Amino acid sequence: MTILLAGVAGLVAGALSMAAGEYVSVSSQADVERADVAREKAELVANPEGELAELVDIYRARGLTEGLARDVARELTEVDALGAHLRDEIGLTDLSPPQPIQAAVVSAFTFAGGAAVPLGVGLIAPLDTLSWWVGAATLVALGVLGALGAKAGGAPRIRAAARVIIWGVVAMTVTSAIGALVGQAL
């Protein structure tokens, strides 16, 4: 019962911690993007010719001739100067604006789903070999999740799975070492 209670507490604490961290991170990203938009708006008002020249330079660096770069910059500025600068100078698009709450919820559920694997194994594994069973199940789950993530992104699955397993081993080793240092076997 103690192991189950500790496992559930760890799952909940970890999920909440991941959610909070993700919320803060994505909110900070949104703040930076809003500041970039405000700065570009101010620069367009204060120095429209300098901003046009920046776009020309950007397009020339991408391979357009001076004349074509100037024409493209001028036409895009006439249609949507701010949009052109945000997209081409800063790299911001409105395709996927930061969504802190969505990121926090996904992070919490992802953590909880991953944490459920060792917790579930811990409920059924023999007590004398519990740490081995939990460790093995965790590494298998990490490998499967790494491969699935790579498949979803079109990346090599074996390399991704190996990377996740290796870092999982590192994390478990460090955690066990810290536990040993403070006098608690993990």
Tens digit of pLDDT for each residue in 122-168?
Answer: 889 998 998 899 999 999 999 998 999 899 989 999 999 999 999 99
Residue of 147, 139, 140, 128 lying closest to 171 (CA atoms) = 139
Rounded Cα–Cα distance for residues 30 and 97 (Å)? 8
Total number of domains in the chain: 2
Q: For residue 142, tell me if it sits in a domain.
A: yes
Same domain assignment for residues 34 and 75: yes
Which of these ranges, 30-44, 89-103, 104-118, has the smallest mean pLDDT?
89-103
**Can you tell me whether residue 137 is helix, strand or coil?**
helix
Same domain assignment for residues 90 and 165: no
Q: Which domain holds residue 7?
A: 1-99
Same domain assignment for residues 16 and 62: yes
Question: What are the backbone dihedrals phi and psi of residue 98, each rounded to the nearest 5 degrees, phi first?
Answer: -60, 135
pTM metric for this prediction: 0.69
Q: Give the residue-averaged pLDDT of 22-30.
A: 94
